[in-house]
Chains A and B, each alone.
Chain A
Amino acid sequence: MHRRTLLALAAGLAAAGLAGTTPGARAQETFKIGLILPMTGASASTGRQIEAAVKLYIAQNGDTVAGRKVQLIVKDDTGVADVTKRLAQELIVNEKVGAVAGFGLTPLALSVAPLATQAKVPQVVMAAATATITEASPFIVRTSFTLPQATQPMAEWASANGMKKVVTLVTDYGPGIDAEKTFTATFTKAGGTVENLRVPLANPDFSPFLQKVADAKPDALFVFVPSGYGAQFMRQFTERGLDKSGIKLIGTGDVTDDDLLNGMGDAALGVVTSHHYSAVHDSAENKAFVAAFKKTAGFRPNFMGVGGYDGMHVIYEGLKKTNGAGGEALVNAIKGMAWTSVRGPVSIDPQTRDIIQNVYIRKVEKVDGELYNVEFATIPNVKDPVKAAKAN
């Protein structure tokens, strides 16, 4: 009976699940946005941040743009590339979405790129940060950042502040290697020496790597770990007493992720990072954003959330400009767009479709009893250095 039950169940599901989606005739009036994010699994927190920010944007700006109703369809890609591609394809083919957005990890964004080109659908990358992504399709627009963009100012700051020898410790995957390369190139050009360490992606214990750092006795340790692993790293760094042995901890903002920073405890105090967003960024726009975000989501926004928020902004503004003239027009409208984001003044580079933004040097400090990345220096209008170098 079991097999028959299963077969019946399969048939029932097939009837209910398969026939469920028929492209409606109103597809012309509504503008659908497919938001594909890792909502479960190891990167779930990325998905939650972006989803919360996107929903906040829609709540604040209304769900009607240029006379068209905006409908958001959220899908869980479980962090797997082939699932992401299938979901994007289904959204494009069946739901006739006007744009796909989200993309928490590099391979997920890259898997959809050929599809965006083929279907002429704008692909708004709200998180994934490997430099090459926007080169994969002329329909990709990115509102997060690139790792070289965030890394280069850190390397420059480090050498300007008297550091001669730095060890880099990065997670062994696309963005990590990006960060390592950029830091090493910039820092050695400025006359410093760099030693490189790579940590496997699935790595519960940092102790052997930190011991290697302790042995090398550098002036500073530059670290990149994906958002979420930062806390663990930070605690093991202090546990090892490296903070007391005079090794400064520097990195991109991923390691002092706003979402988690408060829980890291005093271990994180004094860490210097470079990044494009801090929840304590001093502007009226940001204060309003943080307050609203905390109210609806229940947690602090981080740079992922801001990527999602600004991603919605370019879609909304693009729609206003083009009045529903299609994907190609939408991308063209987004190119060169400039506005004041909650992270500061930003614009979309018309050549690379990457975001041009300020990168801030920040230090972890206590503000009103909570830990924040307090910005103390600004490098204005930073382009992605990898593509900038290619252009020259």
Chain B
Amino acid sequence: MLTILFDGVAYGMLLFVLACGLAITLGLMNFVNLAHGAFAMAGGYVTAILINRWGLPFLATLPFAFLVPAAIGLVLERTLYVRLYHRNHLDQVLFSIGLVFMAVAAVDWTMGSQQQFVTLPSWLKGRVDILGVQVGLYRSFIIVVCSVLVVALQLVLAKTRFGSRLRAAVDDPRVARGLGINVSAIFAITFAFGSGLAGLGGALGAEILGLDPTFPLKFMIYFLIVVTVGGTTSLTGPFLASILLGVADVAGKYYVPSFGAFVIYSLMIVVLVLRPQGLFARAR
């Protein structure tokens, strides 16, 4: 029972790291970036390559899994995304799907279509028994990393100067500009940061979710579910939604396996019909 809860929380946390970048671009910058999964995939591949070809230890690759997608995100934001902020959502969808297609084919071409693997250090393998509950070490690691991230993100957004500038830039770009805030720089940094987080999520998730060129398409739905169920006005919403969905999915598949595939979708529909703005969104 507690093991199921634990697995669910870990799965949810992983979903959150993967999706929170999307929550930022979609919620704060109002940009539908379906290519989010491509940045996650980039992170996963960076880790896989560094471990398998260069022999770096797992932990040492994680900063790169953040930085490389962040850099790619920054370049793309400056050159392409920036032209599309004022466009309607359908154009953004078309553009970002095009980007996903290109990423999928490009990765397939360079890395092959088969699954890639991330070799974990031995201290992250296996599981321990804590007070009768079987706890997987890698999943605990994910929970720790994600918790730290959540707290840090929340602090940055709520307490720092950058956070308040970002919020100002989002609420009213023109006024923010008038106040001397460099709006486009803030957007660029935020976008890069979101892409980096996705990359980190991809690196952490490769072990559990698998990693192949179709990753961005396969998991796009999950990211979107997390963000819509959680609401896009804050990060707490997507966070709680991730945990809820993770636990519901794992528990549903454990207790009612024949109904397992329905749980997450049904939950989403119920939530959205009852609370169209998302479960934890403030009323607008």
Contacts and interface: CB of A to CB of B under 8 A. Distances in A.
Task: Please tell me whether chains A and B touch each other in their complex, using a CB distance cut-off of 8 A.
Answer: yes
A175 B175 CA distance: 61
Interface centre among A202, A211, A259, A299 (most CB of B within 10 A): A211
B114 A208 contact: no
Interface in B147-169: none
Contacts of A198: 257-258
B27 to A, nearest CB: 24
B96 to A, nearest CB: 19
A208 B255 CA distance: 9
Interface in A35-79: 40-42, 44-45, 47-48
A298 B113 CA distance: 12
Interface string A256-271: 0001100111000000
Nearest to B255: A208
A259 B113 CA distance: 11
A205 B218 CA distance: 13
Contacts of A229: 210
A255 to B, nearest CB: 13
Contacts, number: 107
Contacts of A231: 115, 117, 210
A207 B7 contact: yes
B90 to A, nearest CB: 14
Interface string A208-224: 11011010000000000
A238 B125 contact: yes
Interface in B211-246: 212-214, 218-219, 222
B7 A208 contact: yes
A257 to B, nearest CB: 9
B209 A232 contact: yes
A239 interface: yes
B182 interface: no
A204 B209 contact: yes
Contacts of A263: 52, 115-117
A299 B208 contact: no
Contact of B260 (A41, A42, A208, A259): A208
Contacts of B222: 204
B208 A205 contact: yes
A231 B212 CA distance: 12
Given A200-B261, A204-B208, A211-B7, A241 B117 contact: no
Contact of A211 (B104, B212, B214, B254): B254
A44 B126 contact: no
A260 B114 contact: yes
A140 to B, nearest CB: 26
Contacts of B45: none
A232 B210 contact: yes
A287 interface: no
Contact of A45 (B114, B208, B257): B114
B208 A236 contact: yes
A40 B115 CA distance: 14
B208 A260 contact: no
A63 B273 CA distance: 61
A208 B125 contact: no
A235 interface: yes
B169 to A, nearest CB: 32
Contact of B249 (A205, A238, A240): A205
A264 B116 CA distance: 9
B254 A41 contact: no
A228 interface: yes
A280 interface: no
A204 B219 contact: yes
B277 interface: no
B173 interface: no
B4 interface: yes
A69 to B, nearest CB: 30
Contacts of A41: 214
A390 to B, nearest CB: 29
Interface centre among B115, B250, B261 (most CB of A within 10 A): B115
A264 to B, nearest CB: 7
A71 B260 CA distance: 47
B3 interface: yes
Contacts of A238: 125-126
A211 B3 contact: yes
B204 to A, nearest CB: 13
B11 A207 contact: yes
B223 to A, nearest CB: 12
Given A205-B249, A238-B126, A45 B3 contact: no
A265 B112 CA distance: 19
17 contacts: A40-B108, A48-B113, A197-B257, A198-B258, A204-B222, A208-B254, A209-B253, A209-B254, A211-B3, A211-B254, A231-B117, A232-B208, A232-B210, A235-B117, A239-B138, A239-B139, A299-B112
**Which 4 residue pairs spanning A and B have beta carbons closest together?**
A263-B117, A208-B254, A208-B253, A44-B113
Given A228-B212, A232-B208, A238-B125, 13 more contacts: A40-B104, A44-B108, A44-B213, A48-B114, A202-B261, A204-B219, A205-B208, A205-B249, A209-B254, A244-B126, A263-B117, A299-B112, A299-B114
